[in-house]
Structure 1
Amino acid sequence: MTMPGRTRTKVCGLTNADDVAAAVDAGADALGFIVDVPVDTPREISPERAATLVGAVPPFVSTVLVTMAPIESIPALHERVGTDAVQVHGDVDVGAIDRLAGDCDAALVKTVDAAKPESARAYADAADALLVDSTDESGAGGTGRTHDWTATHDLAASLDVPVILAGGLTPANVAEAVGAVDPYAVDVASGVESEGGVKDHDAVRAFVSNAAGASADGAEVSA
């Protein structure tokens, strides 16, 4: 689905207050906090730490709980962390996402594998947005790999739900990605890090600026 206006940005995998402040100062629209995932990642933090970081985010910047927790435990986890949205990873039944929408007072983002567009279509009516990523065998994202942007563009254009592009994005390629896909938003984690779980603040600023300054035809957007 093509959405009007500039492409929004989400900086994900935030682990500390300095990086949260840097992402906010850079103009990121959304901040992601990874809690309760069964994969080894330096970006996972405890619910308590996530709640503290979320509490410091100013108004008009969205916060996102990113999790692979059992679906039945997500409402309680969300209540502890207090984000505006929940991003669900893994192989989750569409009916479970429907039920979660009724049990959780948050916008729901479902991550889908870029290599399996049929799964995106299945979740389109149940989720508030879809995040198309290069996933691993566990269903987790954050692989740092890009995928076929042309196919993702065609998928996004065919869906009546916002599509967020993730997977291998960096300050160097995000403008090209926006031009190719025309997504509602782009999502970055490892592509703006100085080391695992620690953001490079210059890279965060460049990513947000390059994403916001790109358009679907690859031209820069004038102010």
Structure 2
Amino acid sequence: MTVGMSDLFVKICGLRTARDVDVAVEAGADAVGFVFAASPRTVDAETARRLSGRVPDHVLTVGVFRGQSMEEVRRLTEESGIRAVQFHGDEGPAYYEALRAPGRTLIRATAAGELPVRCGELDEDLLLLDAPDPGSGTPWNWASPRFTAPEGRWLLAGGLHPDNVRQAVEATGAWGVDVSSGVESERGVKSEQLIRAFVAAARG
């Protein structure tokens, strides 16, 4: 998997328009996400293919799935041409085995909890640690002294925005960050100013 030049990996998720994608890339994002699960940010495979065609090779294109059949995930992945698959539900090891392919990055998203987790437990390439209610923009207590950072390469998500992302990175030592609602002017609508501000703040 190719990442950007920055030490901190930044993913901007829930993009739906060409302008969203262009701004995220120009701002220096390492990955852009397209949501195929039910959400105010959902796109279809044709839209994702058109948008991912605007993305340079050094930026990872990610499809986000939750509670969908293996056949649907495979179809949408192939039709859209995305290079990474993010599972945001209860998908078991069989999903990761079935979707593993040369040049494809697999991301496992899980909710933060009391027990420590480790990247690679389901043969994923990246781990995403999110709030208990993913996509809601609700923060979780990543600053708690009881929080144990996952082992391996992991992205911090959940309630991040330009005003708190640097603090979150410094508190947790996250390898990367992921944001969606924290760069929106209203639910499902991205803000160019907030995207740029988030990437700049994340990298200090």
TM-score by length of 1: 0.81
Distance verdict in 2 for CA 1:102–1:13, change over 3 Å:
closer
Distance verdict in 2 for CA 1:44–1:104, change over 3 Å:
farther
Matched, 1:62 2:55: no
2:138 maps to which of 145, 160, 163 = 145
* CA positional deviation for 1:135: 3.1
Distance verdict in 2 for CA 1:168–1:45, change over 3 Å:
same
C-alpha separation in 1, matches of 2:13 and 2:119: 25
1:75·1:103 contact (CA, 8 Å) conserved in 2? no
Matches within 5 A, 1:58-207: 58-68=56-66, 69-93=68-92, 95-102=93-100, 106-115=104-113, 117=115, 120-121=117-118, 124-136=121-133, 141-150=134-143, 154-156=148-150, 159=151, 161-207=152-198
Of Structure 1 and Structure 2, which has the larger fraction of its residues in helix? Answer: 1
Residues 39-68 of structure 1: per-residue CA shift (max 9 Å, x gap): 4x2211111111110111122111101112
2:164 alignment partner AA = N
1:13 alignment partner AA = G
2:143·2:168 contact (CA, 8 Å) conserved in 1? no
Runs of 4+ in structure 1 displaced over 4 angstroms? 150-153
C-alpha separation in 1, matches of 2:119 and 2:169: 24
Tell me the secondary structure at the aligned position of residue 177 of structure 1: helix
Gaps of at least 5 residues in structure 1 are: 214-223
C-alpha separation in 1, matches of 2:186 and 2:102: 33
Aligned length: 198
1:97·1:127 contact (CA, 8 Å) conserved in 2? no
- Cα RMSD of the aligned pairs, angstroms, is 2.2
Q: Match for residue 3 of structure 2?
A: none
Residues 83-116 of structure 1: per-residue CA shift (max 9 Å, x gap): 12110111122x2244234468511001011126
Gaps of at least 5 residues in structure 2 are: 1-5
* CA positional deviation for 1:125: 4.7
C-alpha separation in 2, matches of 1:208 and 1:153: 24
* CA positional deviation for 1:212: 1.1
C-alpha separation in 2, matches of 1:180 and 1:108: 26
* CA positional deviation for 1:6: 2.3
2:185 alignment partner AA = S
C-alpha separation in 2, matches of 1:165 and 1:44: 22
State the structure with bigger RCO (CA 8 A, min sep 6), 1 or 2. Answer: 1
* CA positional deviation for 1:123: 5.3
Could you tell me the percent identity over the aligned residues?
Answer: 40
Tell me the secondary structure at the aligned position of residue 178 of structure 1: helix
Distance verdict in 2 for CA 1:63–1:102, change over 3 Å:
closer
C-alpha separation in 1, matches of 2:13 and 2:57: 18
1:145 alignment partner AA = T
1:34·1:65 contact (CA, 8 Å) conserved in 2? yes
- Higher mean alpha-carbon deviation, 165-174 vs 80-89, is at 80-89
